[in-house]
A and B are shown apart, each in its own frame.
Chain A
């Protein structure tokens, strides 16, 4: 049973550039969420995708956008990178949208460094 996978593992970008991170959910899962974890902090919710639509969004600017594909995989795009975007980006998956619908599982993360 494949777990949540993310790519790439590490990424170094320059201020102002754009980046795309990728996530494949756990087998059987159809809902994908993205989280940003700054050093020493707990993960912060960015947004959630279900049926290829953004269903909920956290307190992040429009520079952060996403997409979900028919096979449930997802991308996170960040435009006009700032130094403060340096963080570990985590993808999580679960089944359905109903809040009580069970556990979320996380991928290994992509560590983004903006210089």
Chain B
């Protein structure tokens, strides 16, 4: 099945800094989503972005499907941005049909 790799695994920032999280995937995808998991385990939808660029406030994302990667940008980070960020894809191949395959996540810690 499709493989998803996220980098970096851990990221520590001071409040106000900018950051870029990367997601590489091993095959063609139909869907790609970015999530933020809060300390209670809730997965919060950030972006649904199988291709192209989207922005939502301080967050933006770009997916280059032909090169099999996606980037999540966080600008002017705040302590409330802390948590785990997951990239998840639905592969275009038969065995990946319909299911989300997650990366291992990036643990972001923002210090005041």
B104 x A55 contact (CB < 8 A): no
Is B83's beta carbon under 8 Å from chain A? no
Is B42's beta carbon under 8 Å from chain A? yes
* Interface residues as binary, A61-103 with B (CB distance below 8 Å gives 1, 0 otherwise): 0000000000000000000000000001010100001011011
Which secondary structure characterizes the binding site on chain A?
strand
Segment 8-35 of B: residues with Cβ below 8 Å from A: 30-31, 33, 35
A14 to B96, CA, bound (A): 34
Partner of A100, one of B31, B33, B105: B31
A77 to B9, CA, bound (A): 33
Q: How large, as a class, is the contact surface on chain B?
A: 20 to 34
A97 x B98 contact (CB < 8 A): yes
Partner of B45, one of A31, A37, A103: A103
Residues of B contacting A88 in the complex (Cβ-Cβ under 8 angstroms): 41
Is A24's beta carbon under 8 Å from chain B? no
Partner of B98, one of A37, A43, A56: A56
Residues of A contacting B92 in the complex (Cβ-Cβ under 8 angstroms): 99
Partner of A55, one of B30, B98, B105: B98
Residues of A contacting B98 in the complex (Cβ-Cβ under 8 angstroms): 31, 33, 48, 55-56, 97, 99
B100 x A104 contact (CB < 8 A): yes
A109 x B41 contact (CB < 8 A): yes
Is A8's beta carbon under 8 Å from chain B? no
A37 to B40, CA, bound (A): 13
Excluding A37-B41, A99-B98, A103-B45, 11 further A-B contacts by CB distance (< 8 Å) are A35-B100, A44-B102, A45-B99, A55-B98, A56-B97, A58-B99, A88-B41, A97-B98, A100-B30, A103-B31, A104-B33
